[in-house]
Amino acid sequence: MAIRNIREMGEEVLTKRAKEVKEMTPRLRQLVEDMLETMYSAYGVGLAAPQVGILKRIVVIDVSEDQDTPYVLINPEIIEKDGEQTGMEGCLSVPGKQGQVTRPQHVVVRAQNEDMETFELEGEDLLARAICHELDHLDGHLYVELVEGGLQDVEEPEEEEEAE
Ligand code: NI
């Protein structure tokens, strides 16, 4: 496994449509492993292949508190969505920023796993948000296009003041 370099807003690869995965290969399995490692090391809850410079329709997501429930979605497609949620969103490709985005409250996504078997995943709340955010990356879109009320700086946690 290896940590890959995360591409940042302004790089062309983040604006292109990623291509369908037709078959799993050792190289793509390695990519998936690396994407998971890269996401975890950056404390992200999701990562799409274009964010590491690869235009393939692959995303990894883990919204669990202990970061022990990874989802690998290959050729994902949202087949159901309903409801609405508005909340703060950020992206590893847009460091130090966040913004308010409205997304569906509930989605069902159909995808293939690493063995190219089709499955469906249902997501609510943060998982629904992450699925929508990551799938947008596969079509060359960033959440900043959807931000309501402008992009904000993420506040750094204040350093604890020393007691006198
Ligand atoms: Ni992102």
Residue 134 bears catalytic tag: yes
Give the pLDDT score at 164: 58
Span 152-162, average pLDDT = 75
Instruction: Give the domain CATH number at 102.
Output: 3.90.45.10
Is the full-model pTM beyond 0.85? yes
| Residue 3 domain flag | no
| Residue 1 domain flag | no
Distance CA 75, CA 84 (A): 24
Q: For residue 76, give the 3-state DSSP assignment.
A: strand
Compare 161 and 37 and report the one with higher pLDDT. 37
Residue 114 C-alpha to ligand 1 middle, in angstroms?
A: 21
Residue 41 host element (H or E): helix 26-41
Distance CA 9, CA 13 (A): 9
61-119: pLDDT as tens digits: 999 999 999 999 999 999 999 999 999 999 999 999 999 999 999 999 999 999 999 99
- Among residues 33, 65, 80, 134, the one annotated as catalytic is 134
Range of the domain at 141: 12-151
| Residue 7 domain flag | no
Residue 14 C-alpha to ligand 1 middle, in angstroms?
A: 10
Q: Which residues contact 158 (CB under 8 A, 6 or more apart)?
A: none
Residue 29 C-alpha to ligand 1 middle, in angstroms?
A: 21
Mean pLDDT, the chain, as a whole number?
95
Please state the domain count of the chain. 1
